[in-house]
């Protein structure tokens, strides 16, 4: 992935997506345009693939299985507020945001 500077303001969200992202206070940790996290250990999620984001959110709700679960207590509490359909809506929106994450073509894999 190559980094580029993301716009400060995120893409306009649907009313549903905006309410869900506000409910989780995503920008408070993941930063402006979900690409400027407040801590370097937090991921940049703006522009990430929707399927990846959905499965990551879902993994935070899995307890007691280190193989498929994720163990961040803050994200677990946030993710458990949402239904799978709501997680998909959030993931779809975050994937549509122009973030710093981009796929860089690797000639050796063509």
pLDDT digits (tens, 9 = 90+) for 7-35: 454 557 788 999 999 999 999 999 988 99
Q: Give residue 42's Cα distance to chain centre.
A: 10
| pLDDT value, residue 99 | 81
Question: Residues 44, 29: contact at Cβ < 8 Å?
Answer: no
Q: pLDDT category, 2, cuts 50, 70, 90? A: very low
| pLDDT value, residue 1 | 45
pLDDT, tens digit, 9 for 90 and up, residues 62-95:
987 776 778 788 999 999 999 999 999 999 999 9
Buried/exposed 11-20: b ≥16 CB within 10 Å, e otherwise = bebeeebeeb
Model pTM above 0.85: no
Question: Residues 31, 38: contact at Cβ < 8 Å?
Answer: yes
Which CATH architecture group holds 16-97?
Answer: Orthogonal Bundle (1.10)
């Amino acid at each position: 992935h190559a980094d580029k500077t993301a716009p400060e303001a995120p893409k306009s969200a649907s009313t549903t997506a905006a309410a869900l992202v506000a409910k989780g206070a995503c920008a408070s940790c993941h930063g402006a345009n979900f690409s400027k996290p407040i801590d370097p250990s937090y991921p940049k999620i703006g522009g990430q693939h929707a399927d990846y984001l959905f499965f990551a959110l879902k993994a935070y709700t899995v307890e007691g299985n280190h193989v498929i679960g994720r163990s961040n207590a803050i994200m677990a509490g946030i993710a458990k507020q949402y239904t799978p359909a709501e997680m998909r809506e959030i993931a779809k929106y975050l994937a549509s945001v122009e973030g710093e994450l981009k796929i860089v073509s690797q000639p050796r894999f063509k």
